[in-house]
Amino acid sequence: MNKFPYFPHTDEDLRLMLARVGVESLDDLYSDVPDDFLYKGEYDLKPAMSEQEVRAYFEGLADRNSHLTCFVGQGAYDHYTPSVVPYITQRSEFLTAYTPYQCEISQGTLRYIFEYQSMVCRLTGMDVSNASMYDGPTAAAEAMRMAIACARKKDTVLLSSTLLPQVIDVVKTYAKYYGARIVMISAEDGQTSRDALSALLESDDTIAGVILPSINRYGIIEDHSSFADAVHAKKAILIEYCDLSTLAVLKTPAEWGADVAVGDGQSLGIPLCYGGPYVGFMACRKDYLRKLPGRIVGQTLDKDGKRVFVLTLQAREQHIRREKATSNICSNESLMALWVTVYLSLMGSEGMKEVNELSYDGAHYLYDELLKTGKFEKVFDRPFLKEFVLKPLIDVQSLQTKLYNAGFFAALQTEEGYVTFCVTEKRTVDEMNRLISIIKED
């Protein structure tokens, strides 16, 4: 036997076990596999490394990443992570647990999911939440399918063109193969056009749902007054795409009259980690509960009358309903749901308000100072929170190179040719002033 820390078998174990099974060698266990399929070559992998070598190898790779101070959002936000959060989520009883199907030995997981669902309901104002989705864009795509499932016999979903590009992209991908029709709602002065929406609703009887961003790709806080009435008048459902952190201060999807709320919970202290793992969320009004995809935890009593938690309403799910399930999702982002639950427990509503205020104040300071440099122009005159776009009056390419060299990730160019900035509570005034002074140079 090779000596390898993850294989416990000794030579003697092998001998005894093979004898019990009634074969001579490990190879004999594959006697049912046609010989052609048994791989006899050397695998094109590196030779086995010791743990020390693996660590050194990754340190070497890590050194090839530039550590940049982050002034970009676009769906992934550099908020601070309190140290309690990774400390708790790394507990092996959470980390190495399976899906909580055996509820008697999974009350830890089930309870935190129940707490997570409760917090998502409070942030969004919705009645019910599922146990999480992969990320924001896939949650939006599932909401698209949910709208069509609720409407029966209608196949169109309207998407605002002010949604983040990756959200539009993923929803369109899902729709293409699912057989749904996507129609874009145009923007007016940086926000979803109410007139364009009305015109589409008037002219088309196949609309099952409408997806709008609560904060959009330009960082603008959208005003959705009376949007819900228009959508509901056509018996379609309204889906709001949100940044979960900002709902602590902004009008909730429920307050806008939405039926479904989706989005990403990454902004609740989840590290950027080059794009994942994050956590998608999905919540809805109780009328739509049975169409909600994904796992859901509910409260009940055990035989002794103790309050306990179980996975419930499973008859919607793939392992029971197979092709008629509301979705194919099973594994979601459970541990990241714990991450945001612990984060929200630490922050409380006051902390969440302060995080948003600090981000708001920083972003508005940077916005004003950048305009003062004369190298940018205003694009929109609309309310924003932590993220905004400007029109560059200088060469963006060379500006960016200069910024990377100085250790900043900022002024990312958008599809429209604007540059985008984002400020969270993590950015200090000193960092902003350094960024501004580099931009001011030349």
Partner 1 sequence: MKYYDKLIFELSKKGRTAYSLPKVTLPCRMEKELDESLARTEPLELPEVSEVDVVRHYTALSQMNFGVDTGFYPLGSCTMKYNPKINEEIAAMQSFAALHPLQPKETTEGAERVIAELDAALAAITGMRHFTFKPCAGAHGELTGLMIIREYHLSRGDMKRTKIIVPDSAHGTNPASAAACGLEIVEAKSNADGLVDVEDLRPLLDDTIAGIMMTNPNTLGLFEKDICRIATLVHEAGGLLYYDGANMNPLLGKVRPGDMGFDVMHLNLHKTFSTPHGGGGPGSGPVGVCEKLVPFLGVNTSGYHGNFGVMLRAYAYILMLGRENVKLAGPLAVLNANYIKESLKHKYKLPITSVCKHEFVFDGLINDGAKEGVAGATTLDVAKRLLDYGFHAPTIYFPLLFHQALMIEPTETESKETLDDFIAVMEQIADEAAQDANILHEAPHATPISRPDETTAARNPILHY
Partner 2 sequence: MSKIIEGLLYSESHEWVKVEGDIAVVGVSDYAQAEMGEITYVDLPQVDDEFAAGEEFGALESVKASSDLYSPVSGVVTEVNTALEDAPELVNEDSYANWLIKVRMTNPSETEELMNADSYKTHINE
What does 22 bind: partner 2, partner 1, none (CB cut-off 5 to 8 Å by kind)? Answer: partner 1
Look up residue 354 and give its DSSP letter.
H
Minimum distance, C-beta of residue 45 to partner 1, in the bound complex (Å): 4
Look up residue 121 and give its DSSP letter.
H
Residue 166 is a binding residue for partner 2 (CB under 8 A): no
Residue 102 is a binding residue for partner 1 (CB under 8 A): yes
For partner 1, the closer of residues 7 and 203 by Cβ is 7
Interface positions, 298-357, toward partner 2 (CB under 8 A): 313-315, 320-321, 324
Q: Which stretch binds partner 1 (CB under 8 A): 202-210, 357-365, 373-381, 388-396?
A: 357-365
Contacting residue, 24, 62, 153, 381, with partner 1 by CB under 8 A = 62
Of 320, 301, 337, 281, nearest in space to 114 by CA? 337
User: Could you tell me the CA-to-CA distances from 428 to 71, 74, 127, 270, 434 in Å, in that order?
Assistant: 11, 20, 38, 19, 10
Question: CB atoms < 10 A from the CB of 257, how many?
Answer: 17
> DSSP labels for 178-211?
HT-EEEEEPEETTEE-HHHHHHHHHH-S-EEEEE
For partner 2, the closer of residues 312 and 400 by Cβ is 312
Residue 391 is a binding residue for partner 2 (CB under 8 A): no
Cis peptide before 277 (omega within 30 of 0): yes
Look up residue 104 and give its DSSP letter.
G
Q: Which residue has the tokens 């030995």?
A: 105
What does 152 bind: partner 1, partner 2, none (CB cut-off 5 to 8 Å by kind)? Answer: partner 2
Interface positions, 125-164, toward partner 1 (CB under 8 A): 125, 128-129, 131-132, 134-138, 145
For partner 1, the closer of residues 153 and 203 by Cβ is 153
Minimum distance, C-beta of residue 309 to partner 2, in the bound complex (Å): 15
Per-residue string for binding with partner 1, 220-259, x by CB under 8 A? -x-x-x---------------------xxxxxx-xx----
CA–CA dist 41, 311 (Å, integer): 46
Minimum distance, C-beta of residue 321 to partner 2, in the bound complex (Å): 5
Q: Is residue 129 helix, strand or coil?
A: strand
What does 345 bind: partner 1, partner 2, none (CB cut-off 5 to 8 Å by kind)? Answer: partner 1
- The angle formed by the CA atoms of residues 51, 55 and 60, to the nearest 5 degrees, is 145
Task: Let me know: does 436 contact 366? Beta carbons within 8 Å.
Answer: yes
| β-pairing verdict for 237-243 and 260-264 | parallel
For partner 2, the closer of residues 9 and 290 by Cβ is 290
Minimum distance, C-beta of residue 152 to partner 1, in the bound complex (Å): 16
What does 203 bind: partner 2, partner 1, none (CB cut-off 5 to 8 Å by kind)? Answer: none
Q: Strand order of the sheet with strand 412-413?
A: 376-378, 387-392, 419-422, 412-413
- The angle formed by the CA atoms of residues 163, 166 and 172, to the nearest 5 degrees, is 85
Residue 415 is a binding residue for partner 1 (CB under 8 A): no
Contacting residue, 325, 394, 396, 438, with partner 1 by CB under 8 A = 325
Size of the site for partner 1 (CB under 8 A): 202
Residue 346 is a binding residue for partner 1 (CB under 8 A): yes
Task: Let me know: does 270 contact 74? Beta carbons within 8 Å.
Answer: no
Contacting residue, 55, 91, 290, 391, with partner 2 by CB under 8 A = 290
Enter the tokens of residue 264.
């990403």
Look up residue 268 and give its DSSP letter.
T
For partner 1, the closer of residues 128 and 200 by Cβ is 128
Residue 253 backbone dihedrals phi, psi, to 5 degrees: -55, -40
Q: Is residue 147 helix, strand or coil?
A: helix
Minimum distance, C-beta of residue 110 to partner 2, in the bound complex (Å): 16
For partner 2, the closer of residues 107 and 314 by Cβ is 314
Enter the tokens of residue 112.
């935190």
Minimum distance, C-beta of residue 181 to partner 1, in the bound complex (Å): 12
Residue 383 is a binding residue for partner 1 (CB under 8 A): yes
Task: Let me know: does 226 contact 247? Beta carbons within 8 Å.
Answer: no
What does 23 bind: partner 1, partner 2, none (CB cut-off 5 to 8 Å by kind)? Answer: partner 1
Of 222, 268, 279, 223, nearest in space to 246 by CA? 268
Cis peptide before 137 (omega within 30 of 0): no
Interface positions, 144-163, toward partner 2 (CB under 8 A): 152
Contacting residue, 11, 42, 395, 415, with partner 1 by CB under 8 A = 42
Size of the site for partner 2 (CB under 8 A): 8
Per-residue string for binding with partner 2, 354-383, x by CB under 8 A? ------------------------------
Sites of contact with partner 2 (CB under 8 A): 152, 290, 313-315, 320-321, 324
